[in-house]
A = this chain, B = another copy of it.
Amino acid sequence: MSEQNYSLQEAILYSHKMAQLSKAVWKQIEKDWQNWVKPFDLNLNEHHILWICYHLDGASISEISKFGIMHVSTAFNFSKKLEERKLLTFSKREEDKRNTYIELTESGKHLFEETMEAHAQGTDKNTVMQASLPLKDLYGRFPEFQELEAIVKEIYGEEYLDILDRSIASIKAEY
C-alpha cells in the first residue's frame, strides 16, 4: 500500500465525489428495492436474506452478514422473522457445529420466485438499470465497474467477490 502517495486535495476531492456518487446510487437502489418487495410483506433485509440463501443454495448467518453487508445480529433477527413465517429453517452442519446455517423451505423458495416474477414484470421501475440504458446503447452492454470491484475487493476481501461470482453463476443458470 502506498504511503501518502497522494495530496490532501486529491484525497478530499476523490472522497467527496465517491461519497456523493455512491450515496446517490445506493439510495435509489434501496428505494426501488423497498417498493419492489413491500407487496410481499418483506423489507429489504429480509429479501436480501432470501436472495442470498436462494442463490447460494443455503448460507450461514456469517455469510449472510458478510455478503448482505448487515450486522450479524441484523442477519440473525431478520432470519428469525422469516423462520417464524416458515420461509426458512435453521440448522447446524455436522462438519461445522459453530455456525448456524439457513435453508429456504419450499414456501420460501416459492415466495422468492414470485418476487423475481414481479421484478421481471416491472423492470421499468428499476431506476438504476433504466438509467444505465444509454450506456448500454453506447457500449453494447451494461458497464462492468471493474474499478469499483477492485475497491470492494480491497475492503471486503476476495471472499466477497467469490460469493458475488457464485450468486451470478446461479442467476445465469436460472434465467
**A-side interface residues toward B, CB under 8 Å?**
1-2, 5-6, 8-29, 33, 67, 69, 116, 119-120, 123, 126-137, 141-143, 145, 147-152, 154-156, 160, 164, 167-168, 171-172, 175
Contact = CB atoms under 8 A, between A and B. Distances in A.
Given A9-B172, A25-B22, A145-B21, A131 B151 contact: yes
User: How many copies altogether?
Assistant: 2
Contacts of A152: 21, 24-25, 131
Contacts of A154: 130-132, 134
Contact of A128 (B20, B134, B151): B151
Interface centre among A128, A142, A148, A150 (most CB of B within 10 A): A148
Contact of A135 (B21, B26, B147, B175): B147
A171 B9 contact: yes
A17 B168 contact: yes
A136 B5 CA distance: 9
